[in-house]
Amino acid sequence: MVVGSGGTLLRVGDRGAEVTALSAPINSSDNRMFTVSCFGASCFAVGGVASGFVLRGSPGADVFPRLESLTGLSGLNGVHVQDAENVFVVGANGVTAHISTRGLPGSYAPTYVSGSLTQATLHGVGGSNQVTLAVGGELDERTPMQRAVILARGDSFKRFTFDGREFVASGSLRRSLGGSGQ
């Protein structure tokens, strides 16, 4: 899957042999998509500069409808589908959200949308079954707490190993993506 400006949503076939344009119902004035992530039969794409949106579809779908249960957010930049039940999104003004099926397969709804944990824009989110990390920062900001921000999900990740290296989080931690200056 590939996303981009102008509501571009493409499915690329094996070895790039076939490219199919998919339909995405988004506002023509705020139509930039930044990230797409898939796990099995579920794919999510996020974007929007002024008002964020989340699209959900499957790798074989021709249309990616908007997830209407998640509205009123500023622009979204990153999405990570952790597994069939959990999706994390991040964006402008430090917004983080956890979307879950809540045990109802295919029925995604926000389980947590954070208050502003940082004023910095979060650019990406990813991880594994052990840790979820959101990253971002403001390039023109001189305040160290906004220049480079890494948020770790959960109290159990005050100390965690990622890619063979141990990290110790600082700042306040929350059960969802949280903690300024980690």
Strand order in the sheet with 96-100: 76-81, 86-91, 96-100, 109-113
Determine the Cα–Cα distance for residues 162 and 153; give it in Å rounded to an integer.
Answer: 13
| 146 membership: H or E segment, kind and range | helix 144-147
Determine the Cα–Cα distance for residues 108 and 92; give it in Å rounded to an integer.
Answer: 22
Sketch the domain layout of the chain as residue ranges: 2-131
Q: What pTM did the predictor assign?
A: 0.78
For residue 42, the one-letter residue type is S
Determine the Cα–Cα distance for residues 74 and 53; give it in Å rounded to an integer.
Answer: 9
Tell me the per-residue pLDDT of 120-166, one tens digit each, with 9 for 90 and over.
788 899 987 777 888 888 766 566 655 677 777 755 556 666 677 77
Q: Which residue has the higher pLDDT, 118 or 105?
A: 118
Domain 2-131 -> CATH class: mainly beta
Residue indicated by tokens 């400006």: 5
Q: Mean pLDDT over all residues of the chain? A: 77
